[in-house]
Chains A and B, each alone.
Chain A
Amino acid sequence: MSITVKYFASLREILGRSEDSLEIGDGNITVSEVWKQVAGKQKSLPDDVLTVINMEYVKPDAQVKDGDEVAFFPPVTGG
């Protein structure tokens, strides 16, 4: 399956890119497993990083489906 992964703000700078397109063979993957694929397997998901699927907040153990847009970002600071 294929998914898009987006990064924002300080996280985008740390990773050095704003987006990845991923092809995942195994169709059974959670958001935190997606993070390990993009950030390197040794890096676990930081506690304060917010996780999103298709523009809705989800928990890190949420399942990702084919065609989903996953996003990772630091705490929000608008307003």
Chain B
Amino acid sequence: MMKIEIRTEPFNPWSEIESYQEQMQKDGQFGAMASFVGSMRDLNEEEQVTEMQLEHYPGMTEKHLMDICTEANKKWDLIDILVMHRVGEIRIGNPIVLVCVWSAHRAAAFDACRFIMEDLKSKAPFWKQETVAGGKRWVEKNTSG
């Protein structure tokens, strides 16, 4: 099982995890859950960032995220996956991405969560445009880790 969602409005990752875990109805099956939340910072490349726009390729984004999760499901013995990603106007401190993985034991949850996140960073078709003092600029590449 898995759920992929692109959100145009701010979301609260903690309540999303709680409500998703509740409706999974798999209590007793999972012994581990690992999550990653990425949020917007106010500083990038030594410049103050005030705003950010996140663009994506509708259709390909969802397809690619689904492919990443399907691959993770093949590599590890997982119970469920939840991936949420923001697009549109992001404000400082807003969560941008949530990856959450449930499994029987911790190794699969930790490793699959990292795998999905790294693949998302390097391949999922999203682009950030930041507003700094001098105007708007496209983020040219992600940090290595």
Contact = CB atoms under 8 A, between A and B. Distances in A.
Given A55-B63, A79-B38, A73 B127 contact: yes
Given A9-B129, A71-B57, A73-B125, A79 B64 contact: no
Interface residues of B, number: 28
B123 to A, nearest CB: 7
A9 B53 CA distance: 10
A78 B85 contact: yes
Contacts of A78: 54, 56, 85, 96-97, 120-121, 124-128, 142
Contacts of A8: 55, 57, 125, 127
- How many chain A residues sit at the interface, stated as a range, is 10 to 19
B60 A10 contact: no
Contacts of A74: 127, 138, 140
Contacts of A65: none
A55 B127 contact: no
B57 A77 contact: no
B70 interface: no
28 contacts: A8-B125, A9-B127, A9-B138, A10-B127, A52-B60, A57-B123, A71-B60, A73-B127, A74-B127, A75-B140, A75-B142, A76-B121, A76-B123, A76-B126, A77-B141, A77-B142, A78-B85, A78-B96, A78-B121, A78-B124, A78-B127, A78-B128, A78-B142, A79-B96, A79-B97, A79-B117, A79-B120, A79-B124
